[in-house]
Homo-oligomer: A and B are copies of this chain.
Amino acid sequence: MATVTSKTGQAVERVSFDSLLKRRLFYTPSFEIYGGYSGLFDYGPPGCALLTNIVDQWRKHFILEEDMLEVDCPAITPEEVLKTSGHVEKFADWMCKDPKTGEIFRADHLVEEVLEARLKGDKEARGQRIEVDEAKDAKKKKKVKDIKAVKLDDAVVQEYEEVLAKIDNYDGKDLGALIVKYQIKNPGTGGDVLPPVAFNLMFETNIGPTGQLKGYLRPETAQGQFVNFAKLLDFNQQGMPFASASIGKSFRNEISPRSGLLRVREFLMAEIEHFVDPEGGKKHARFDEVKHIELDFLDRNTQLEGKTNITRMSIGEAVSLKMVDNETLGYFLARIHLFLLRIGIDPKRTRFRQHMANEMAHYAADCWDAELQSSYGWIECVGCADRSAYDLTVHAKKTGAPLHVRQVRDEPLKFEQWEVALDKKKAGPKFKKDAKAIDDALNNLSQELLEKLSLELREKGKVDIELPETERRVELEKDLVTIEKHQKVIHTREFTPNVIEPSFGIGRIIYTLLEHSYWYREGTEKAAGDTEKRGVLSFPPIVAPTKVLLVPLSNNPDFKLSLQKLGTRLRHLGVSSRVDDSSVSIGRRYARNDELGTPFGVTVDFQSVKDDTVTLRDRDSTKQVRADVDTICNAIKSMVDGKTSWADTQKELPEFTQQEVD
């Protein structure tokens, strides 16, 4: 059974954590009254608010802070665009079908599942303790029910372990060979499976009524940004470097999605495409601002040694050691880290893992994932790749669009060059239809050859050249041809920018944030018989779904006016609040809002009606202070904006020690 580790180090079975999230409607399986469909989830009210706040922070942290050019493109993408990008051909997983039952397995998962089950059976037969690898277990589609306690040869054990370590590296042919070699069958029935075939992960559809125009739902937002490059460069008044950004849904038709929000068929992405001149080492103007920031790195070499130990160092050092390829990539790794910190991700459960050479696309220069640890193991939540000039180059080649930058050189480029010219007026009548072939042949001569020929022309008064297609040679007199050295000055430079792409999976970040924010209080004895664990989600105020809960002590109508005044005052300060005037005890109302992650609570009581004072409760400590409405509202505003902490508020305002009424 997978276990969620709370931020205070408590262990909770994931099933009970999940039930909190469903009970409070953070998210829920979509279309559940129709039986549910795997890989599709709905966000409920607190999930939506969390999502909106995180996206808002993302926009401020990245787009506004760096004047990025946001674009919003359709999810529906014509086939031609995704053919060019390579997705139609390559964006696939390998699947195996059981022809008897019709079941479909993801081939790598099937191999993994069966071999792991056999290794477990072996351990059992050897009387060893079985350590359940939660992370891998959770990734499995279907548990192998019958782990037979069969002892394997030591050599076989080693072979299986090597296969499992390299499971991400096999293609369909390799996986098919493994299935044959190790006699891997349908784990449920023992039946044979067919050899792996590629299954494209894009959802396919038709655009328009003709049935002639195929389209896909985009698997990433990036292509919409690339095809707009020339317009964005114009909008940026030709300034380089610059970044575009997109926040929107992407779609992947997973073969068999599981792991809750971590592997879904429709998901929100936030992607940046930072366009940078490939010359000059991809420096970043603001790198100095972040170079001192320390990150936990798991680099390629460490992984090649089969290890997972973390190297902690500053991003400045990592770039200077060339572990991280360049400043721009390093700058974004640090900025990603700051963003995750800001929204409440636990830095102790964050690491930056470098892609192995065979994990990356062939064109990528370097790639790092921000991996966050949860009960599902270490999960890629942000990717940060240097995609080189690949995408712009292929789209430009396919369409002829000028997806490049033309810059005036600081210093004009000066050089000498041999140039040849045929006198076409004379050559035409003389050579007739050969004239063009001769002209082409001359223009294709190398600088070396031209130099040689110019000498020949000066010495002999003629040259003879070969016509490539026909292998005939023709003789050209000096009145027909000139070969001269010219001084050339080039004032502009053209280049295709490279792209650094930080790419965020917002749903994965949200799920991890929920785990990282979670802990529980033991139920108090006072509540009759109520000793259950009381969950708390300690979101930072900045992303909390609701900032303030307003609680009247009872349904006494006198409290109504005070509540209205409070709500209006907070709204004017830009702070969202919510009233809970249900008839249950204040303690229960606060407990509900602790599960919703509401950081502050304000209680209106009889005293409030008399002297306009209210109590303010802190979610995490349950401590309370009391002051007049204005003071309390300002204190909340300051904490919500992140300018002060609860500790500051507690120092300034008198504590209120009356017990919560349970």
Q: Can you list 6 pairs linking A and B with CB atoms under 8 Å apart?
A: A33-B395, A33-B399, A75-B249, A204-B205, A208-B255, A209-B253
Chain B residues positioned under 8 Å from A251 (CB to CB): 76
The answer to whether A52 and B44 touch (CB under 8 A), given A78-B31, A253-B207, is no
Chain B residues positioned under 8 Å from A104 (CB to CB): 208-210
Give A478 Cβ to nearest chain B Cβ, in Å. Answer: 47
Report yes or no: B42 in contact with A71, Cβ–Cβ below 8 A.
yes
Give A541 Cβ to nearest chain B Cβ, in Å. Answer: 16
Of A62-70, A158-166, A376-384, A527-535, the one contacting chain B is: A62-70
Residues of A within 8 A of B (CB): 24-25, 28, 30-34, 37-38, 40-45, 47-49, 51-52, 59, 64, 67, 69-78, 80-81, 95, 102, 104, 199, 203-210, 213, 217, 224, 227-228, 230-232, 234-235, 237, 249, 251, 253-256, 265-266, 395, 399, 401, 403, 571, 574, 576, 578, 582
A46 and chain B: residue at smallest CB distance: B235
One complex includes copies of this chain to the number of 2
Query: Which of B42, B256, B403 has a CB less than 8 Å from the CB of A73?
Result: B42
A251 and chain B: residue at smallest CB distance: B76
A239 and chain B: residue at smallest CB distance: B582
Main secondary structure of the interface of A (DSSP, over half): mixed
Report yes or no: B78 in contact with A49, Cβ–Cβ below 8 A.
no
Give A272 Cβ to nearest chain B Cβ, in Å. Answer: 13
Query: Which of B45, B80, B232, B266 has a CB less than 8 Å from the CB of A69?
Result: B45
Query: Which of B43, B213, B234 has a CB less than 8 Å from the CB of A72?
Result: B43
Chain B residues positioned under 8 Å from A72 (CB to CB): 42-43, 47-48, 51
Report yes or no: A227 in contact with B31, Cβ–Cβ below 8 A.
yes
Report yes or no: B30 in contact with A224, Cβ–Cβ below 8 A.
yes
Chain B residues positioned under 8 Å from A209 (CB to CB): 95, 104, 199, 253, 255
Report yes or no: A253 in contact with B40, Cβ–Cβ below 8 A.
no
A48 and chain B: residue at smallest CB distance: B70
Chain B residues positioned under 8 Å from A228 (CB to CB): 28, 42, 44
Report yes or no: B25 in contact with A48, Cβ–Cβ below 8 A.
no
Query: Which of B33, B255, B576 has a CB less than 8 Å from the CB of A227?
Result: B33
Give A264 Cβ to nearest chain B Cβ, in Å. Answer: 8
Chain B residues positioned under 8 Å from A230 (CB to CB): 33
The answer to whether A77 and B205 touch (CB under 8 A), given A70-B48, A71-B43, A235-B45, is no
The answer to whether A206 and B203 touch (CB under 8 A), given A74-B42, A76-B266, is yes
Chain B residues positioned under 8 Å from A255 (CB to CB): 208-209
The answer to whether A205 and B203 touch (CB under 8 A), given A33-B401, A74-B40, is yes
What is the bound-complex CA distance between A281 and B48, given in angstroms?
Answer: 32
Leading 3 A-B pairs by shortest Cβ distance? A33-B401, A48-B70, A43-B72
What is the bound-complex CA distance between A617 and B235, given in angstroms?
Answer: 23
Report yes or no: A31 in contact with B77, Cβ–Cβ below 8 A.
yes
What is the bound-complex CA distance between A249 and B217, given in angstroms?
Answer: 13
What is the bound-complex CA distance between A203 and B74, given in angstroms?
Answer: 14
What is the bound-complex CA distance between A389 and B235, given in angstroms?
Answer: 49
What is the bound-complex CA distance between A254 and B25, given in angstroms?
Answer: 35
Given A34-B399, A38-B208, A207-B265, 9 extra CB contacts under 8 A: A30-B73, A31-B77, A42-B228, A44-B71, A48-B72, A51-B72, A64-B576, A67-B578, A208-B253
